[in-house]
Copies of this chain bind each other. A is one copy, B any other.
């Protein structure tokens, strides 16, 4: 990390690798001899089509996406998917949702506009501090799909397994995609807002089993039909070209750093550094139950909101920024996405220990 840059623990949009940003700056005025910026390129031009196609190929390779599944580059974030998923998949019938956090809850409420929503697991009563075991998932009679959110940024919990279901599994992987290997074939659909581990905000990646497409409700906007977007290779209209280009740069960086396996090692190492401080602290209180802990977002607090605020302020003065918890929970949160250097976790741990010494 160069001297004038901070360690950015934001939950998203979030830190990107310096080398990726440097490359984007370098290619800004003239991409690869084209005489123009990627931001100026017609999405129908040969040169941009090349960027688009290569990015798809790289993502397919990084996540080992099988040929049964199609990768789509969409817009609107997870929030549009909350509606788009039931519009396309619920067929006016029912779907099962596991509500393990804020965004899964929003998804379930939005889906009620389009069919029957069965919330088959809800951790609200314990402050979303845990992930259910497979045995706790009691599916309904004939769900069209089962929906869950792999990693809960607000509460700092993460599914450690891919749930089995008697129907296609749909997963919001916004905040831990590309951080570990997943067996994509086990999913009907995976989607992710790009602004944590993939690219700047404004791109939504959907990976869908093609056999699920084509059952959308009659009033589904054309651009929200997965079938149409599969047929048009995400180019029914102008895609978010710059974000897709940035995803390509991120995937080059990912590959150079060991791919998703490399990222899985790094996330374990980074989060262990911070959890280790929490587990040996008499000041800091971790939020998530141990077995449900996220390796992407570490949530904790001190005994008072005043002390939390002092911690955030002191951290910022050392270049450790965005450690304030989500407004729903208060407290503190350290988001440790793919691009967070180990050094950032070490500096944070050091500061936590110093803060504890001077405040107990």
Q: Which residues of A does B touch, CB under 8 Å?
A: 2, 4-6, 8, 10-16, 18, 21-22, 24-26, 28-30, 34-37, 39-43, 45, 75-80, 82-84, 87, 110, 113-114, 193, 195, 200-203, 217-219, 221-224, 236-243, 246, 319, 321-322
Contacts and interface: CB of A to CB of B under 8 A. Distances in A.
Q: Give the secondary structure class of A's interface.
A: loop
A76 B78 contact: no
Contacts of A26: 25
B29 A222 contact: no
Contacts of A43: 13, 201
Nearest to A16: B40
Contacts of A83: 221-224
Contacts of A236: 79
B240 A240 contact: yes
Contacts of A34: 6
B221 A80 contact: yes
B219 A113 contact: yes
A149 to B, nearest CB: 14
Contacts of A219: 113-114, 217, 219
Contacts of A35: 4-6, 8, 319, 321
Given A201-B239, A240-B201, A18 B13 contact: no
A84 B75 CA distance: 14
Given A77-B237, A237-B78, A10 B42 contact: yes
A30 B5 contact: yes
B5 A223 contact: no
A222 B110 contact: yes
A59 B273 CA distance: 46
Given A6-B35, A15-B36, 13 more contacts: A8-B35, A14-B40, A21-B29, A25-B25, A43-B201, A75-B75, A77-B237, A83-B224, A84-B221, A200-B242, A201-B239, A201-B240, A202-B243
Nearest to A114: B219
A225 to B, nearest CB: 11
Nearest to A219: B113
A193 B75 CA distance: 13
11 contacts: A6-B36, A13-B238, A13-B241, A24-B28, A43-B201, A75-B76, A110-B222, A113-B218, A114-B219, A219-B219, A242-B242
Contacts of A4: 29-30, 35
Given A80-B221, A236-B79, A242-B202, A37 B22 contact: no
Nearest to A217: B219
- 7 closest cross-chain pairs (CB), A and B: A83-B221, A6-B35, A202-B240, A79-B237, A25-B28, A39-B200, A75-B75
Contact of A42 (B11, B29, B30, B79): B11
Nearest to A27: B25
